[in-house]
Amino acid sequence: MNANAAMVEYKQWEGLEAGKERMVRDGQNLKLIEQCGANEIKVSDALVRATNAKNEVYDKINYDRDFAERLLMQKKENEVLHKKTLEYKQNMHEKQKHFENSLREAELKRNPFNAKINQMSLANATASKQKQQNQHDTLDLNVDANDYEF
């Protein structure tokens, strides 16, 4: 009977050892499962962050490209407006010149005597100015010649 009792005791001990090993293995498996879940969350978080970063980069590239296109379009529009402004100014300048010429002709036709007097007065003033300039130049030459007498 001792042999049978020892055998039963050995079987019980083996069962206890197997139970302990099963508990340790189950505990380890549970820890591994929890860690895998945590790692999967970390991995999925990292994937979401990477996807968000990639999308931000693409959005920035698209914004920059669109900005360059908008800038080019605005420059072209500005050039067109500038050309139109220059044409308008030139047109207005020509209209003003034409108006002034027609006004001058109309004044001459209305009052030819005053126009003739104005022209003569201008001619006399120019001649008088040239005469004074000539006299002044000759006086300067005479003064210079008198300074160097021997």
Asked if the structure places residue 131 within a domain, the reply is: no
Asked if the structure places residue 85 within a domain, the reply is: yes
Asked if the structure places residue 130 within a domain, the reply is: no
Q: In this predicted model, what pLDDT tens digit does every residue of 24-44 receive, in sequence order?
A: 898 888 888 888 777 777 778
Asked if the structure places residue 30 within a domain, the reply is: no
Tell me how crowded residue 92 is: count the other CB atoms within 10 A of its CB.
Answer: 10
Asked if the structure places residue 84 within a domain, the reply is: yes
Tell me the C-alpha to C-alpha distance, in Å, between residue 54 and each of 39, 44, 66: 22, 15, 18
Q: Which domain holds residue 60?
A: 56-111
State the average pLDDT for the chain: 85
Q: In this predicted model, what pLDDT tens digit does every residue of 57-93 receive, in sequence order?
A: 999 999 999 999 999 999 999 999 999 999 999 999 9
Q: Output the pLDDT for position 71.
A: 93
Asked if the structure places residue 69 within a domain, the reply is: yes
What are 8's two structure tokens?
A: 């039963």
Side chain identity at residue 148, one-letter code = Y
pLDDT surpasses 80 at 108: no
Q: How far apart are the C-alpha atoms of 122 and 116, rounded to whole Å?
A: 10
Is 115 buried (19+), middle (13-18) or exposed (0-12) by CB count in 10 A? middle
Asked if the structure places residue 102 within a domain, the reply is: yes
pTM attached to this predicted model: 0.38
Contact 125, 119 (CB under 8 A): no
Q: Output the pLDDT for position 143.
A: 54
Q: Output the pLDDT for position 32.
A: 83
φ, ψ for residue 111 (rounded to 5)?
A: -135, 75
Helices 2-110, 112-147: axis angle to 10 degrees equals 100
Q: Output the pLDDT for position 82.
A: 96
Asked if the structure places residue 32 within a domain, the reply is: no
Q: How many domains does the chain have?
A: 1
